[in-house]
Structure 1
Amino acid sequence: MIQLNRITAKFGFIVSIVFLLFFANSVRAQDGKALFQTNCASCHRIDKDATGPALEHVEDRWPSRDKIIAWVHNSAAVLASGDKYANDLFNRFGKTQMTKFQGILSDKDVDAILDYIKTEQDKQPATATAAGATTTQASGSDNTLLYAVLTGILLIAVFILWQVNTNLKKVAAKKEGQPAIAAIPWYRNKKVITIIAIAIFIYIGFWLSSNAIGIGRQQNYEPRQPIFYSHKVHAGINQISCLYCHTNAQYSRHATVPPINVCMNCHLAINSYSGPQLKDAEGNDIDGTAEIQKLYKYAGFTPGPGATFDASKAKPIPWIRIHELPDHVYFNHSQHVMVGKVQCQTCHGEINKMDEVKQFAPLSMNWCINCHRTTAVQFKDNGFYSIYTKYHEGLKNGTIDSVTVQMIGGTDCQKCHY
């Protein structure tokens, strides 16, 4: 009996070691993925430049991980040290200082993020396809397989240990001359029933809470609009400022959808499309000239010689709203755009590369609060913050190197809820 107990203990130890060795890197990568999506994804992509540089092969561009960690924690200090690569990077991206993550991300957190980036960059050649498909779905499939294998190994281990325990009881009873007790079927065993009931209760609770948290969120929502309007053509290729069409973003809570007359300012003269081939989300070709004709129909405009407007035929374009916060949330575009100097891409993604616009960010409370905790306010030459003399003095005498939104009350409940 003692020998069987030793065998059982050794078997459990071996299973534990195999589990730790086989899954340690994957679990670490998953932690890095969550940290990356929470703290980095608003400004960085792995495979291409965004608001900040692409992070693929980032460790090849820095002398060591310690230097990267120092940069993430406090980029201003690294710039002040005269590091050439850091200053070149700062100048290349419009002298926009990276958010300070000191006290938010530990050294281990940054290590986990870098491990995740390395894992993703190593996947690129293997998962790339001739059609240029992204690796998102493949990555999700790999994770599912990982969890399935883990569950299978644990179930097998439980079954083996259960059988060993049952046989040990039979051997012990036989040795002591006790009558053999008929085994109770597993589905009638109180312990088994209790464990299954608890597991089901936890799963249902997790499922309900996860879905309840996501109610009203529309990340990646991409409706088909009445006119195929390409931000890639207008804001990207033709470099039209976002604020030319969404003028109210500078002066109001709402950015607002531009009225038809703003569109017609240009399209009175531009009545045909000759740019790159337009495609919708399904890959179907779009006739740009035909879309301009739809605009004319909504405007009541008849092009050609003697062009005329017929007000009786004009009607608003029924654009489908994409970004919408709950009624109990207060958000002010002008506060962020004019005072905070926040770039449109921070919340809306690379809008200048989108044909059909989708909701880039989750716009959840956690996402907003995390931004307020990490985003440094541009105090210099910003009259709006002149009343914060304490922080101005701190910046001058060097006791602080930056001021986050959180430091000026940006995480107070009444800032967004009242």
Structure 2
Amino acid sequence: MSRYRKILQKVFTSLLFIALVSLNYTSFAADGEALFKANCANCHKPLEDYTGPKLQGARARQPNLEWAYKWVNNVNSMLETDPYAKGLLAKYGSRMTQFNLPKADIKAILDYADAYVAPAAPGGAASGGAPAEDNSLLFGILTLVLAVIALILLQVNSSLRKLAEEKDGVLRTEPVPFYRNKTYIMAGILILFCLGGYMTINAAIGLGRMKNYQPEQPIYYSHKVHAGTNQISCLYCHGGSQDSKHANIPSVNVCMNCHMAIKEYKGDAIVKEDGKQVNGTAEIQKLYQYAGWNPDAKKYDKPGKPIEWVRIHNLPDHVYFNHSQHVKVGKQNCQTCHGPIQEMPEVYQYSELSMGWCINCHRESKVNFYNKESGEGNKYYSIYEKFHKDIKAGKLDSVTVEKIGGIECQKCHY
């Protein structure tokens, strides 16, 4: 019986070792990725040249394997004496920022770059800019399976030990029931504590994010009918979006420009999300009541009043957002933030509008530089002439909003 116990102990030890190695490998890979994003991503990419050279295979291209470890922490001095460093400066035209990183961190970054594989884009093509696949669920399932196996093996080991001791005539007390075992109880408490903490943190992060918020408005206004079916430009009603900070809610007079003549709705049936049909003509009559318009006499015969629309998109007071900067300068479509607005029967908040969501957009949105030869592009960005020259010279393939200060705190916060 002791022979079986030794075999089970070896099996359990092996499984535990494999699990620890897997977790350590994942941890180191995550550390390398985190260090790369925190220190290198602004100027380097793993698979292609950017402001600086690509990092994949960097150690193989360098004079020796130790060169990178000296270079990162001694940029200024090596640019004066090292021929390879001088060649990098001449080729890319920019001086690398000097860091103070431990050798282990530098190695983790280079290991991450060497192991990096571009994730597959939809359709099978590789795209270096696509987000990496999230394997958190898979790792969670594997961890749970290993935990269950470990628990079963512990129970088997305890039963075998009891049988062996009974055979040898050793008396032992009855084992403590599972539900009264202090070790299991403490493990359960710790697991519940971790799960509760994780859920609490996620809930706290989500506070104030009103994604999918869809209040009931005083008049059922369908963007699908106006912007979709009738192809009315967003800027006709929200003209401030290209000229000022605020997009502006259109006044009653703007609505009446069309509805003085359009007295009844004759289009396709308007149906709410709950399946109830909306009487479009009755909603137009509500507009007339707010405007003080008499459709029979075709004149304003009573005082009007503003429509008390319920605000949907609402950023915190300390956040600065300028519609004209995004619409007129950045050439962004309304759908970038508001989603498929032309398909919404009634508007709801489509995007998170969180800080992380905005920053990711700035990291991915490419700048449309002005081209003097073709006359195309945005003249606003002519002050960033260096980037335009680097793109023409092949040093860069594109420049995102992040590179022109798009993630500086003062850009969005007062």
| TM-score interval for Structure 1 and Structure 2 normalised by the shorter chain | 0.5 to 0.7
Matched ranges for 1:373-384 at <5 A: 373-380=363-370, 381-384=377-380
Change beyond 3 A, Cα 1:294–1:9: farther
1:392 pairs, out of 388, 393, 402, with 388
Q: Distance in 1 between matches of 2:398 and 2:254?
A: 40
User: Does 1:180 find its partner at 2:176?
Assistant: no
Percent identity for Structure 1 against Structure 2: 51
Matched ranges for 1:325-364 at <5 A: 325-364=315-354
Q: Point out the more displaced range, 376-385 or 174-183.
A: 174-183
- Which residue in the other structure is 1:225 paired with? 217
Q: Distance in 2 between matches of 1:113 and 1:6?
A: 48
User: Does 1:6 find its partner at 2:7?
Assistant: yes
User: Does 1:307 find its partner at 2:308?
Assistant: no
- Which residue in the other structure is 2:127 paired with? none
Instruction: Give the drift of 1:161.
Output: 2.4
Amino acid at match of 2:394: G
Any conservation in 1 of the 2:362–2:406 contact (CA below 8 Å)? Answer: yes
Amino acid at match of 2:249: V
**Deviations, residues 6-37 of structure 1 (Å, cap 9, x unaligned):** 368769999xx9xxxxxxxxxxxxxxxxxxxx
- Which residue in the other structure is 1:215 paired with? 207
Q: Distance in 1 between matches of 2:183 and 2:118?
A: 39
Change beyond 3 A, Cα 1:413–1:227: same
TM-score by length of 1: 0.65
Instruction: Give the drift of 1:413.
Output: 1.5
Matched ranges for 1:194-343 at <5 A: 194-304=186-296, 306-312=297-303, 314-343=304-333
Any conservation in 1 of the 2:5–2:157 contact (CA below 8 Å)? Answer: no
Q: Distance in 2 between matches of 1:384 and 1:9?
A: 69
What is the SS of the residue equivalent to 1:297? Answer: helix
Change beyond 3 A, Cα 1:176–1:355: same
Q: Point out the more displaced range, 193-202 or 183-192.
A: 183-192
TM-score by length of 2: 0.66
Amino acid at match of 2:247: A
Q: Distance in 2 between matches of 1:375 and 1:266?
A: 36
Amino acid at match of 2:337: C
Change beyond 3 A, Cα 1:13–1:290: farther
Mind listing any 5+ residue stretches in structure 1 that lack a counterpart? 18-69, 74-102, 116-143
Any conservation in 2 of the 1:8–1:164 contact (CA below 8 Å)? Answer: no
User: Does 1:416 find its partner at 2:412?
Assistant: yes
User: Does 1:401 find its partner at 2:397?
Assistant: yes
User: Does 1:111 find its partner at 2:103?
Assistant: no
Q: Distance in 1 between matches of 2:366 and 2:206?
A: 28
Mind listing any 5+ residue stretches in structure 2 that lack a counterpart? 19-46, 51-111, 125-136, 371-376
- Indicate the structure (1 or 2) with the bigger Cα radius of gyration: 2
Q: Distance in 1 between matches of 2:257 and 2:333?
A: 25
Instruction: Give the drift of 1:169.
Output: 2.2
**Deviations, residues 194-238 of structure 1 (Å, cap 9, x unaligned):** 212211221121111000000011111112211111111111111
